[in-house]
A and B are shown apart, each in its own frame.
Chain A
């Protein structure tokens, strides 16, 4: 029988006891003291937590991050996001200020600290995950930074010791006009404002929005834009750290307790985008689509695709991103590759065969995953763009027609296009105009859908053949098409079967 040697110390704790190593031992199990509510997450945690805590804390933070991501998908404004996130943060990841004098202050901060580092481990493995994690953590940090107590925030910023050069009085006077014009402050006295001078590379965001004065490579940042400086610094530090974590990750493979948890965490973080399921492509009652049918089918296309189709028909051409968006959509509704190539070849009437084969065909095949790198072919090319993708990509430039018309068209033009495709209800057009004004583009789009299918929707609701989830908000152009087509062909043979639907629910049969 093996006698358990109780006199033996836990090997991990031994450092505390071995006199030779005592000088190193102190740091190992020390609790960190959190002086500030906000954290730049520079030092990793060193104390012990239970496995249980490890998992629950990470899941809590993950919930917060995914809600935050959902906010961007829904196109919520910063104010709405703050409002929406308040409850969620309080529930899962509360962080009170010093002034609250809460007993749990240190505990909360500790949880914040640890959960950040756990997720950092979980999301450092691939470039994609790293980028998303860094983006969301930055959003979270910004959110907290904004509602931090003013004095505590100032203290925190001071503790960061960022190198900022203050602009001297005489320079301020000299550049007064420009400083005010650049930052969009009217009627304020520049003397009252404090300005910092930093290399412009540190505030790329402000530069990109043309909100600060640039002179000879130096950016003049007003005090109130300090946030974007701090945030930029935060992102930079986090990005660098994530790279390092990724490299160290392989050493973690040894630990059989942690790696399953981490894999699980990172898996539940994937599939963020509005779903495009291949089931969107097979619609009962609609046999394999050929290129001749596109013109007829385009009646059931959402406006973004209809617009591309009409532009293509009138000008016999589309620019690159328009082609890409439309090709992927067509692929999504089930148009086979060879038909798609014929479709484009016929549509580009003004091009010679040679030019078409040389400059256009490859891209179509690439989008279908017929050519290209291994990953592209294995993944069968790109997935059709979702509304979220269309709504967040850069606005089209002159001559370009891609994107979501509700977002890219001037309201007047939008309305006239809608009228042309048969939306003539004054009330609907008015509300669409309002929606668009509030940047609720997908709401406007769904409104148009509901109006143009109102009879059919009423019918399926009445006979109960479609559940509420079948009529959920549309967040993907391909879902629009599928639903529209099914509704318009109700009662034709076996047509009208919602197969999988957008949200992936089970089959429901009409009649």
Chain B
């Protein structure tokens, strides 16, 4: 693999630069003199020659910060103050917990590459807006950082309980005030691009969710999100041709999607609106009655969605949610049936057995229709039933988030202040297996570092590698690598292609 990126190509802040070149020569970390940023930072080490994806070799050799070195030895060797005792009882937002999290666990480097689209710092990252929510709930907008290290430094300094990512602006967001006073003010500071984002939140499902309400979730209602991810993901890939879609657990009861393709990032508000409305199906508030009124024949996107959602409808909805078990809810179902004859027949039947399970009520519709209580065509009934399935399963997007280029969205890998869970990426290939309740919390992760008793050996390990965060970071790095690979300047890619062709 061509070592096109020299370690120097990342001009990070000086304090951490002293060791930049040693790695390729000597793999031994002990020989290196390490500059420490602050007393609490564990010594930084070089050359984590883990068998991670090779692509990252270059950057990693530059030294990656969040490694605490072997805890046992390093403490003696460097007479460091003893690490803060973090137990699973510690509060999530405790400043020590957050500091340790940003120092040791948060994958700043991959995050940087993800937003920067290359290894060398560029304006894609430097002009990107970050917004911090500080522990006292102050909200700090228009932060920007030239490099990952500076972002990390600021995080450790301010200990934001979470931070959000906004668009890339035409100038550094920090300079926006001075730009406003210049002559060409009108357009000097404007958002240029941002990933196309989606937000699915369980609150939008409250009227059809029976297992939990409000902020709580369980595996049963998580299946709404699973369905949503499957449907939206395939539409974005097959219809719009997007390829780099990152799904992230929002930390409590929802999921975010980041579509990172260049084409998606450059979309203006109008295009974002049209993608959102292409994917939106449910219309109308609580009083509007039937929320799905799809045109027939169904648009291929809806046809495909219906095929995916049908299976879930039987299990996740009818069996698990049991949405029409109460009389009041069953009345809603009746309202959705267009045929008055059938409606009154069903009404009669259900009045005698009000708490029939939903699955039975659902099959009653067909049974009664067959026995003659149908005044409309079977086709109309089928279509109405399809609409009902869609109303109960089709993704409910918080569309406002997607429509604006300059909307901010919570960054992946930050800690949800309420649950303490890390906002980890969701692997769409195994979306069914994703368990929101199994996502590690920040305290649990820090405990895992302390508990780690593995072989350190000659290769240095990052702290996150010792924890259950590893698979998530690995997944994220692979995702970023593919994105960076695609956005390499074309010239170079073509040259590489040329080499391949020669070899053949």
Q: Which residues of A line the B interface, CB within 8 A?
A: 127, 178, 180-182, 184, 186, 200-201, 204-205, 207-210, 213-218, 243, 246, 307, 358, 394-403, 405, 408-410, 412-414, 417
B302 nearest CB across to chain A (Å): 8
Which B residues are in CB contact (< 8 Å) with A213? 300
Closest residue to A405 on the B side, CB-wise? B287
Q: Which residue of A lies closest to B239 (CB)?
A: A214
Cross-chain contact A210 with B239 (CB below 8 angstroms): no
Interface-located stretch among B215-223, B288-296, B431-439, B458-466: B288-296
A sample of 14 more A-B contacts (CB under 8 A), given A207-B278, A397-B204, is A127-B186, A178-B300, A181-B298, A186-B297, A207-B274, A208-B278, A210-B302, A214-B239, A307-B287, A395-B285, A398-B285, A400-B285, A408-B285, A409-B288
> B274, A184: Cβ atoms under 8 Å?
no
- Which residues of chain A are near B240, meaning CB under 8 Å? 200, 214, 216-217
B277 interface residue per 8 A CB criterion: yes
The answer to whether A208 and B277 have CB atoms under 8 Å apart is yes
List residues 162-194 of chain B with CB under 8 A from any CB of chain A: 186-187
List chain A residues, Cβ under 8 A from B137: 358
State whether A182 and B299 are in contact (beta carbons under 8 Å apart), knowing that A207-B274, A208-B277, A358-B137 are contacts in the complex.
yes
Q: In this assembly, does B94 line the interface, its C-beta being within 8 Å of a C-beta of chain A?
A: no
Return chain A residues, CB-CB under 8 Å to B301. 210, 214
- Give every chain A residue within 8 A of B267 (Cβ-Cβ): 201
Contact B299 A210 (CB under 8 A): yes
Cβ-defined partner of B297 (8 Å) among A184, A201, A397, A409: A184
Q: Are B186 and A201 in contact (CB under 8 A)?
A: no
A454 to B288, CA, bound (A): 29
* Distance of A207 Cα from B300 Cα, bound (Å): 13
- Contact across chains for A397 and B300 when beta carbons are under 8 A apart: no
Interface size (B, Cβ < 8 Å)?
43
CB distance from A246 to the nearest CB of B (A): 7
Neighbour of A397 across the interface among B275, B285, B299, B303, CB < 8 A: B285
Q: Does B207 contact A (CB under 8 A)?
A: yes
- Contact A209 to B277, CB < 8 A, known contacts A216-B241, A398-B207, A410-B288: yes
CB neighbours (8 Å) of A186 from chain B are: 297
Which of B288, B396, B399 sits near A413, CB closer than 8 Å? B288
Check B203 for interface membership: any CB of A closer than 8 A. Answer: yes
What does the 1/0 interface line of B260-283 toward A look like (CB < 8 Å)? 000100010011011111100011
Check B271–A396 contact: CB distance below 8 A: no
CB nearest to B399 among chain A residues = A397
User: Residues of B contacting A409 with CB < 8 Å?
Assistant: 287-289
Q: Does B2 have its Cβ within 8 Å of any Cβ on chain A?
A: no
User: How many contacting A-B pairs (Cβ < 8 A)?
Assistant: 115
Bound CA–CA A470/B301 (angstroms): 51
**Residue from B275, B283, B285, B399 within 8 A of A399 (CB atoms):** B285
Name the residue in A127, A246, A397, A413 with the highest tally of chain B Cβ atoms < 10 Å from its Cβ. A397
Check if B284 is an interface residue, CB within 8 A of chain A.
yes
B283 to A410, Cβ gap below 8 A?
no
Chain B residues 72 to 91 lying within 8 A of chain A, measured CB to CB, are none
Choose one: A180, A208, A417; the contact of B287 (CB below 8 Å). A417
Residues of chain A with a CB closer than 8 A to B283's CB: 395, 397
**B206 close to chain A: CB less than 8 A:** yes
Q: Which of A214, A246, A358 contacts B186 (CB 8 A)?
A: A246
A234 to chain B, nearest CB (A): 14
B271 near A408: Cβ-Cβ < 8 Å: no
Are B396 and A397 neighbours in the complex by a CB distance under 8 Å?
yes
Q: Is B238 an interface residue (CB 8 A)?
A: yes
Complex contact B204–A399 (CB within 8 A)? yes
CB proximity of B396 to chain A, nearest CB, Å: 6
Residues of B within 8 A of A397 (CB): 204, 282-285, 396, 399
Known A178-B300, A246-B186, A408-B288: A204·B204 in contact at CB below 8 Å: no
The answer to whether A215 and B287 touch across the interface, beta carbons within 8 angstroms, is no
- Residues of A within 8 Å of B206, CB to CB, are 398-399
A243 to B184: give the CA distance in the assembly, Å.
12
Cβ distance A316 to chain B, nearest Cβ, rounded Å: 14
Contacts of A243 in B (CB 8 A): 187
Docked complex Cα distance between A201 and B271 (Å) = 7
From B137, which residue of chain A is reached at the shortest CB distance?
A358
Residue B500 CB within 8 A of the other chain: no
- CB contacts (< 8 Å) of B277 on chain A: these are 208-210
Chain B's nearest CB lies how many Å from the CB of A436? 12
A180 / chain B contacts, CB cutoff of 8 Å: 297
* Residue B503 interfacial (CB < 8 Å): no
The verdict on A398 contacting B282 (CB below 8 Å), with A204-B273, A217-B240, A408-B287 known, is yes
- Does B30 belong to the interface (CB within 8 Å)? no
